[in-house]
Amino acid sequence: MVEPEEIRTRRLILRRIQPGDSDAFVAVHTDPATYRYDPFDLRTPQQALELLERFQDCWRTDGIGYWTIRRIGSQDVIGFGGLRLWVEEGESVLNLYYRLRPVAWGNGYAPEMAEAAVRWANRNRPDRPVLIVTKSDNTPSVRVAEKLGFVRHLERERDGQPEVLFRLPAPGPTRRRDPHGPLT
């Protein structure tokens, strides 16, 4: 198994979350705009730091977790995302997650990060399906999932909110050509 300490795409650097990322993490995870589709999940700064600790625990216990996302050539953090081990409907899976600052929206960064994560998973954890769980009305995330070749797997309600689980058809490479170039 290869731990993805850092992955590069044509435009992004995805690297393991560092202690110095905590201010950016809190800013992203307490911004009401980033919780537009999950308003009940909006966090306080303390809750965001607790979430950060849980995300870092994933790396320690599972050898995989979410990354800090930066544009190449910039030190500014544009968001967080990647994969972590999860149990969904009794099955061990990799949950694909991302949360980006609003200034990064609309630039194709979410699908670029997600495709890099899926490629890593296909090479290093082919035994674990990759899932995306999102609110049913989260049109941007639904669009990213469909763009990457994920298909609707299950629709349900969680805490009174409709959500949809997307899954890549097995076996897993994404079905679209990567417009952002190879991983290095």
What distance in Å separates the CA atoms of residue 60 and residue 83, rounded to the nearest whole number? 14
Q: How would residue 133 be classed by pLDDT, with cut points 50, 70 and 90?
A: very high
Residue 177 pLDDT: 41
Pick the more confident residue, 175 or 31. 31
pLDDT of 70 over the 80 cut: yes
What distance in Å separates the CA atoms of residue 79 and residue 55, rounded to the nearest whole number? 14
Average pLDDT over residues 114-124: 93
Are 168 and 118 contacting, i.e. CB atoms less than 8 angstroms apart? yes
Domain boundaries, the chain: 6-167
Give 66's strand partners: 82
3.20.20.60, 3.40.630.30, 2.40.160.20, 3.40.190.10: which CATH number matches 6-167? Answer: 3.40.630.30
User: Is the entire prediction scored with pTM above 0.85?
Assistant: yes
Helix 139-147 vs helix 109-124: crossing angle, to nearest 10 = 50
Radius of gyration of the chain (CA): 15
Residue 126 pLDDT: 92
Q: How would residue 22 be classed by pLDDT, with cut points 50, 70 and 90?
A: very high
pLDDT tens digits, 76-101: 999 999 999 999 989 999 999 999 99
Average pLDDT over residues 113-127: 93
Burial of 161 (0-12, 13-18, 19+ CB in 10 A): middle
